[in-house]
Amino acid sequence: MAWFYLLIAGMMEVVWAVALKLSDGFTRPLPAAVVVVAGLLSLLFLALAVRHIPLGTAYAVWTGIGAVGVALIGILYFNESRHFWRLFFIGLIVVGVMGLRLSGDGK
């Protein structure tokens, strides 16, 4: 269940980061509210996950999910660069997150 909580935490990390962009510097109330709620949910689920997953592993996976998710949304919806090397290094983050999950460093 801890890994499921960590996945939710990572997805909420993506939500708040995208909402931050959409809030236009906190000038748009609805996206700004989403930033706050999703940010709190992200931290809540991270806190639940670290009860059973080592902190270093959980934090690395949490930030990895957030970084990859936000990068992919940036590419798909905000017309950010699709350059080969950018995609390659995003792929390395994915491999690192998978490696941490498969390494058995958590329960």
Predicted pLDDT of residue 103: 85
Cα separation of 79 and 71, whole Å? 11
Could you give the CA distance from residue 76 to residue 70 in angstroms, rounded to a whole number?
Answer: 10
pLDDT tens column, 42-69: 999 999 999 999 999 999 999 999 999 9
Query: What is the percentage of the chain residues whose pLDDT exceeds 90?
Result: 92
The reply to whether the predicted model has a pTM over 0.85 is yes
> What are the distances in angstroms from CA 84 to CA 8, 68, 88?
29, 15, 6
On the question of pLDDT at 104 being above 90, the answer is: no
Residue whose token pair is 């990572």: 10
Helix (H, G, I), strand (E, B) or coil at 82: coil
